[in-house]
Amino acid sequence: MSDDKIRLWRVLRSSTTAFSVGCPRPQDTDGESLPEFGALVKVVRANGDIIYGLIHDVRIEDDAFVRQLVAAAVDEPEIIEDQRQKRQVPIEVSVLAVGHGRDLDVYHRLPPQPPGALDDVILCNAAEMVRFSERQDWLRIVLAAPNVSAEQLIGAALRRTALSRPPDQRNAYLVGAGRELARLLADDLVRLDGILRQLRL
Amino acid sequence: MALELNKLTARIDEMGQVMAQRQAKHLELSSEARALLKANPAVTEELLAKIELAREQDAWRRGAVPLGEALVEPRTPEGLHTRVTLIAADGSQIFPDSDGISPYYLLNIGSIVLRRGSGQAPTVGSAPEIFFTDKEVYDDANELRTAEYVGIQRQRREIEALADLAEQERRELGGDLSQTILAMTDGPLLPWIRQDMNDSEAMAREIEFTAQQLERLHQARAIPVGYIDNPNSAYVLRLLELIRMKPETINRETLRAYHYQHLTDRAIFDDLQPNERTAVFTVHTDANRRYEALTNDRIAFVYANMARTKNEPVMARLEVPSWVAEDPRELDKAQAAIFANCEPEGYPYVLARAHELAVVSANERARLEEMLLGFMLQSGILPEMSPKARNKLLTGGRQWR
């Protein structure tokens, strides 16, 4: 996991529970990290407030041009690469708000205000991921979120936050997260089992 | 709803009948014209003399002049150079709006350099420019610049962008002349100038500028091509008119009593096979005459069928300078590369992409004007739209945001 702060792109629209981000292209051609399901991102507002979110969907929109190329079975490599790398195909990244904070403080609750349109969205580095996941209260927000694949998202996010720790701490971290999940899903063992099965690194 | 369709029903019915009659007439005329061409395939001394006579009598505008020895000379290029660079540039604009919040206009030129055979993504770019000073937006009579003026500025930038990119590409190839470079524009190579345009100096300036850029392309050993999709020209039909006429009947009046009215050249060449082109012609226009006077060169053209399948022709007019048209192998290279680039079928990919990179959507325009509005307010200016523009926003489909 790179420690570099990388801007994904900018906020397109937002609410206090979720926001959408525009991304320029689907493939990593210039060494940029691209949005991945379960990644922790942050938006730093002008007043210093930080809003944390988890990427829960990456959607590549099609358009008439792409549909036409697919239908015509175009296989010219230069055209395929143009479409993949250079066209402004709308790529929309959906982010679930899971916390907010300021400086080193992190609170696992919904932010008082949503990010602003065109705010920078930055992929959190390893230190930020460790700091964010010292406590697991954010799991409750994900489990309660509508229209989100909560089990898949929790699995992906916990694997990433585990990998951001030193190797000798990862297992203990996942066991702790598992305990918290067992408490939250005590009455839904099938769902709990589904998440725990995904926590293997 | 503003359009009460029920009030148009009777007229629409009548329109259908008129269209059917027109179609029948066109089919008859097309058939007649094709037969005439088939019966007169050669370029004879008599025909050339008639062309001269027509020019003397009525300037004979927009008539095709054959450059070869035959009017019917279909040709299909053999093979395709795998390593070809296709360059395209296209522009779009926001015209000055006297009812808008501020007088300005905008040009945006999209461009693409696709290196066929490289397997690499093409190089793409767009160059937006905004014009807002008094000198830029008002003419000498203090009138807001016209759409025609803005169109000419756009055409200048398109052809200049092609020359810039072709020179750069040739440099990057280390001067290697074995790689074909094609420089394409969507539309004619010479600027479109109204026949009634009374500013002769302005016309001369535009032709001179275009001639300079075409010469730059020539020096870079690039092939300039003006690609006209679904052409509505009737240049060759005007030539057929002359075949029909006896020399003694050619005069201003008979030349203007146009027998093949409303028909286009597509009608006589729709039997071309996929990737086949017609004989080479040039066209007698004021712009071409001025270009020839400056350069001793003429813009020539062929019609070509860009369809992949038989019996469903997709006609295009390809315009090239004579120094390309005179060498059938150069024209073959250009046509083969364009045909191969017509993906999906029927229209060159590079032109579609250049257009996409250039086009300013209504949404983008709204955002630009919103930004402009914000800066005006910051500068203490209270922008004011005309009541007409404001009402258009309220009642029309255009969204301010």
pLDDT of A135-162, one tens digit each? 999 999 999 999 999 999 999 999 999 9
Cβ–Cβ contacts within 10 Å for residue A42, how many?
22
CB contact under 8 A, B119 and A77: yes
Task: Write the pLDDT tens digit of every residue in B152-165.
Answer: 999 999 999 999 99
* pLDDT at residue B62, as a whole number: 82
Residues of chain B positioned with their CB less than 8 A from the CB of A74: 343-344
What rounded mean pLDDT belongs to chain B? 90
Residue of B nearest to A82 (CA): B121
Interatomic CA distance for residues B367 and B271, integer angstroms: 48
Per the DSSP assignment, residues forming a β-bridge with A121 are: A9
Interface test with A, best of B343, B353, B359, B371 (most A CBs within 10 A): B343
* pLDDT at residue A141, as a whole number: 97
CB contact under 8 A, A78 and B344: no
Contact between A38 and A151 under an 8 Å Cβ cutoff? The reply is no
Task: Write the pLDDT tens digit of every residue in B369-378.
Answer: 888 888 888 8
- What lies within 8 Å, CB to CB, of A73 at 6+ separation is none
Residue of A nearest to B350 (CA): A79
Contact between A58 and A37 under an 8 Å Cβ cutoff? The reply is yes
Give the torsion through C-alpha atoms of B148, B325, B224, B310, to 10 deg. 90
Reported as a pLDDT band with limits 50, 70 and 90, residue B400 is: very low
Task: Write the pLDDT tens digit of every residue in B221-242.
Answer: 999 999 999 999 999 999 999 9
Residues of chain A positioned with their CB less than 8 A from the CB of B112: 82
Residue of A nearest to B342 (CA): A74
CA distances from A48 to A14, A104, B94 (A): 18, 11, 39
CB contact under 8 A, B352 and A65: yes
Residues of chain B positioned with their CB less than 8 A from the CB of A77: 119
Interatomic CA distance for residues B306 and B312, integer angstroms: 10
Residues of chain A positioned with their CB less than 8 A from the CB of B352: 65
Interatomic CA distance for residues B133 and B105, integer angstroms: 10
Q: What is the ipTM of this complex?
A: 0.76
Residue of A nearest to B343 (CA): A74
Residues of chain B positioned with their CB less than 8 A from the CB of A68: 344
Contact between A33 and A69 under an 8 Å Cβ cutoff? The reply is no
Give the closest-approach CA distance of B77 to chain A in angstroms.
Answer: 20
CB contact under 8 A, B120 and A78: yes
Question: What would the mean pLDDT of B29-33 be, rounded to a whole number?
Answer: 94
CB contact under 8 A, A81 and B344: no
CB contact under 8 A, B121 and A29: yes
Radius of gyration of chain B (CA): 24
Residues of chain A positioned with their CB less than 8 A from the CB of B116: 76, 78
Give the closest-approach CA distance of B125 to chain A in angstroms.
Answer: 9
Interatomic CA distance for residues B335 and B184, integer angstroms: 11
Per the DSSP assignment, residues forming a β-bridge with A120 are: A10
Identity of the residue numbered A66:
V
Give the closest-approach CA distance of B241 to chain A in angstroms.
Answer: 41
CB contact under 8 A, A72 and B115: no
Q: What is the pTM of this model?
A: 0.79
Give the closest-approach CA distance of A78 to chain B in angstroms.
Answer: 5
State both tokens at A197: 């099965």
Question: Is the previous residue joined to B344 through a cis bond, with omega within 30 degrees of 0?
Answer: yes
According to DSSP, the β-strands at A91-102 and A49-60 are: antiparallel
Exposure string of B33-46, with b = 16+ CB inside 10 Å and e = fewer, is bbebbeebeebeee
CB pairs under 8 A between A and B: 44
CB contact under 8 A, A84 and B124: no
Question: What would the mean pLDDT of A8-21 be, rounded to a whole number?
Answer: 89
